[in-house]
Structure 1
């Protein structure tokens, strides 16, 4: 497997595992678990690079421009989230909001300080790729606020900053959602709009349903995380499914029944509905047709 395919495979695996790590209630355990996941993935990439190297310049550019940074960005993300939550004021809503606003200011300042390269990243530019994302491109990035010492065998002059761009964009979205929730903004509006809807079935059935929606990429063309889907369904239907990874593990361990018993039952009942003579007439419309 070449490095491009390996990096994509590892990123997909670690992204899903990272969501599970971030569902852990203890912040320090979140951090330890997240760091371990990313470090193992990076170690695998380093070993493969040492053994086989790159087949061409295009593969090297892809690896250092996207392959490695998207994995390393997860390490930055989990570290920054821990730092923000660990320094959050314990009491006082306004103090907590001020703390989160200050983090947004820090992120925006970082983007401004590295504006040229950030725009290069945002626009998907390629004309300087051979300088920024090959190891032969040099180790000097003049005019940028943050250029750490890098391992010349496993880094280029710009791959670390691309990792931070990816991480900080995700972190900014996370902070904005947190602020909105603490202010009782749109989240409360949506909650009130659906306040009469309540999931009365087993929570594990909800988990099974959401996994089905996620795996079939029915929302936003699949460009949504599993945790975001779980949060949405949990809020709308007023059910606590925060421990969905554990519930999914329980689903996988089922032996005396179908592992997807709820989805199977749903499919059976929908098929029966279709086969019934009044399948296409909604209940509230039956009187119109003399039923």
Structure 2
């Protein structure tokens, strides 16, 4: 099971990363990501139903540590899709909206505090009630979704683990959005916003750095300047660069598209 799961998860994360590189618009990207996660989850379910588990410990490990990783991605991307499609345009309204979304996460945390404590402190004394199929205790704060799921592939609390993981990621996303919103509000010197994806800008920054167009400036200084000028948070741009290096084909995809776009523009003007 572990070998199949690890290979499936690796393939899923690689496909998601590729979409992040190719698709600038977060909404369009998520529309492509969600079906991939659903398909992955379906493949894992098929494997579990066909092969089962060697013992209860293996079953607990899967429903406590493995399945929730995939489901959390589904919860996360679906939540971000809703957030992005409902987000207002006005900066002040955006701030209020994002804080309200953070408030929803806080409410879920407060309502499930005991489970958060159990899960985050790596307790296991009631794992057989929480992560074994066919076992459930109504007194253990069950989500309604449990009664609607396929119990051949669900336990009473594997979804709740996925929700905990996803909510942590959603919180980081919202806080990042709030931080970017504050930067835009306070930065009166630039009204330019980078509308492409972060990977594309990272590719451009490293190209300029490699060419030495900013003299001996450190890559971190260059990256921070671009972040400030174009109102964007690149996150771990070095990790992004390593992903660019690992591409099997077309490692300079964005730079190539810039060249093609410029040549096309020149050709169009020559024809006038």
1:184–1:62 Cα change, 3 Å: same
Aligned to 1:181, the other structure's residue is in SS state helix
2:60·2:131 contact (CA, 8 Å) conserved in 1?
A: yes
Structure 1 residue 25, shift from structure 2 partner: 2.9
**Hey, what's the Cα distance between the residues in 1 that align with 2:138 and 2:183?**
43
Return the match for 1:117 from 105, 108, 115. 115
Distance 1:66 1:250, change over 3 A: closer
In 1, Cα distance between the equivalents of 2:78 and 2:150? Answer: 21
Q: Determine the C-alpha separation between the residues in 2 that align with 1:238 and 1:28.
A: 24
Please give the alpha-carbon distance, in whole angstroms, between the structure 2 residues aligned to 1:145 and 1:104.
Answer: 23
Give the whole-Å Cα distance in 1 for the aligned partners of 2:74 and 2:221. 28
Structure 1: state its 5+ residue gaps: 189-201, 210-231, 261-291
CA distance in 2, matches of 1:114, 1:251: 41
**Aligned partners of 1:137 and 1:130: how far apart in 2?**
7
State which drifts further: 124-133 or 140-149: 140-149
Match of 2:223 in 1: 235
Superposed CA RMSD: 3.4
For 1:99 and 1:48, the matched residues in 2 are separated by 41
TM-aligned CA deviation for residue 143 of structure 1: 5.4
Asked which structure has the greater RCO (Cα within 8 Å, sep 6+), the reply is 2
Relative distance call for 1:74 and 1:251 in structure 2 (3 A) is: closer
Aligned residue number for residue 135 of structure 2: 137
5 Å matches for 1:17-166? 17-22=15-20, 24-90=23-89, 92-138=90-136, 140-142=137-139, 144=141, 146-148=143-145, 149-166=148-165
Identify the residue that residue 206 of structure 2 maps to in structure 1.
206
Closer/same/farther in 2, CA of residues 57 and 40 from structure 1, 3 Å limit: same
Q: Per-residue deviation at 1:250? A: 11
Maintained 8 Å contact 1:141/1:158: no
How far residue 142 of structure 1 moved from its aligned partner, in angstroms, is: 2.8
Moved more, 111-120 or 144-153: 144-153
| CA deviation map 1:2-30 (0-9, x unaligned) | 2x332233223323332343452334422
Shift of 1:80: 0.3
Distance 1:6 1:251, change over 3 A: closer
Aligned residues: 213
Q: Could you list the per-position Cα deviations for residues 118-162 of structure 1 after superposition, in whole angstroms to 9, with x for gaps in the alignment?
A: 211111111111110000323x44353733122110000000111
- Which sits farther off after the overlay, 145-154 or 162-171? 145-154
Shift of 1:236: 2.9
Q: How does 1:175-214 map to 2 (within 5 A)?
A: 175-184=174-183, 203=203, 206=206
User: C-alpha separation between the residues in 1 aligned to 2:3 and 2:175?
Assistant: 33
Question: Residue 193 of structure 2 corresponds to which residue in structure 1?
Answer: none
> Aligned pair 1:253/2:249, yes or no?
yes
Counterparts of 2:247 and 2:121 in 1: how far apart (Å)? 43
Q: Which runs of 5+ in 2 are unaligned?
A: 188-201, 210-219, 235-239, 253-272
What is the TM-score normalised by the length of structure 2?
Answer: 0.68
Residues 147 and 157 in structure 1, CA contact (< 8 A), matched pair in contact too: no
Indicate if the aligned counterparts of 1:97 and 1:182 stay in contact, CA closer than 8 A.
Answer: yes
